[in-house]
Chain A
Amino acid sequence: MSAAAADSEALFRYVLRLGDLSLVLGQRLGEWVGHAPALEEDLGLANIALDLIGQARLLLSYAGEIEGRGRSEDDIAYHREQGEYLNPVLAEQPNGDFGQTIVRQVLIDAYQLELYERMAASSDERLAAIAAKSVKETRYHLRYSGSWLVRLGDGTEQSHALAQAALGRLWPYTVELFAEDDLDRAMADGGVAPRLAEVHAAWTVRLDELLGQATLKRPGDRAHSWHGKRGQHSEHLGYILAEMQYLQRAYPGARW
């Protein structure tokens, strides 16, 4: 493979990581539609889900262009197998109760916010533009999820206990977000993406502030064995894809 081809293959995989994170999380949030604790929250979660799907569309379309094999955003979303999905496994974790959904959302919103803020200055113009658009949405997402985290953590004894339990369950998955591998390093070296260590430091400050307001304790980091970013997923992703891809698998090319 030539150097240029290797570069574009790396960029393709990196853009998939970003796009798949938004796509899978958006699909997960969509499961709340019709089931949220209040009509107002139903719409709030659906709005965030749609923002995320919108980000995924931009990113997966771009991935298709980089790949140069004529695949559209839909081809990439609906016709890849589980092992070709490159989202961190945190995104695919089940909704659980409302508190668990909120904790997962806070962890990812804060990550995307710190990432996009820096990526707006990416050497890749297209990614810089997508990041600049997404950062406005993400700021609102964190405002929503963060204020709920504070309400639940600093709420009743029961809501505090449930939020703390969800935090304990999901925290180990955050390690993968910041575990820099060769691909992350290559993107940072090329100025395409920020250093994950820098994102991690900013994320930690933000999280500590929110957790303090929510009177929740930050769990300790643990060694992890998750590699969603390399296509090795938890048991949950297959079920998400089965539901999401069903129609396009059963009726390939179906349109509205």
Chain B
Amino acid sequence: MDDSRHWPLYEVFVRARGGLDHKHVGSLHAADERMAVEHARDLYTRRQEGVSIWVVPSKAITASDPGETESLFEPARDKIYRHPTFYDIPDEVKTL
């Protein structure tokens, strides 16, 4: 264990406050899950960024194929009716 390059990669998710979602903040190397949580605490929450940490082995994540970007995402581009932008919003409603 003389070199962290031999350690597997983990993705780190941090919940900033109660009620918010965990958000992806970055990745790190660690020998196992426990060390990954400790490293995440030291790397990503040292300026009070969060109240909860998730770590996930990067290899457990299945990603979409960048080569399929066109077929996956472009069809949504011209379907603006899927956005709820055609309603009149009463002034009293501050947030939706």
- A residues contacting B by CB (< 8 A) are 37-41, 43-44, 47, 140, 143-144, 147, 151, 155-156, 159
Contacts and interface: CB of A to CB of B under 8 A. Distances in A.
Interface of B: 1-4, 7, 28-31, 34-35, 38-39, 41-43, 46
B34 A147 contact: yes
B31 to A, nearest CB: 7
Across chains A and B, which 8 residue pairs bring their CB atoms closest together, nearest first? Answer: A38-B4, A40-B39, A44-B42, A43-B42, A47-B42, A43-B43, A40-B28, A47-B46
A43 B42 CA distance: 6
Q: Is the contact region of chain A dominated by helix, strand, or loop, or is it mixed?
A: helix
Contacts of A43: 39, 42-43, 46
A147 B42 CA distance: 15
B4 A37 contact: yes
Contacts of B2: 37
Contacts of A38: 3-4, 7, 29
A140 B42 CA distance: 11
Contacts of B46: 43, 47
Contact of B3 (A37, A147, A159): A37
Contacts of B38: 44, 143-144, 147
Contacts of A140: 41
B35 to A, nearest CB: 7
Given A38-B29, A147-B34, A151-B31, A44 B39 contact: yes
Nearest to B28: A40
A219 B41 CA distance: 33
Nearest to B41: A140
A144 B39 CA distance: 9
* Residue among B3, B38, B42 having the largest count of chain A Cβ atoms under 10 Å: B42
Given A43-B42, A44-B39, A47-B46, A159 B34 contact: no
B80 to A, nearest CB: 45
B39 A156 contact: no
Contacts of B3: 37-38
A156 B31 CA distance: 14
Given A38-B3, A156-B1, 15 more contacts: A38-B7, A38-B29, A39-B29, A40-B30, A40-B39, A40-B42, A40-B43, A43-B39, A43-B42, A43-B46, A44-B38, A47-B46, A144-B38, A147-B34, A159-B1
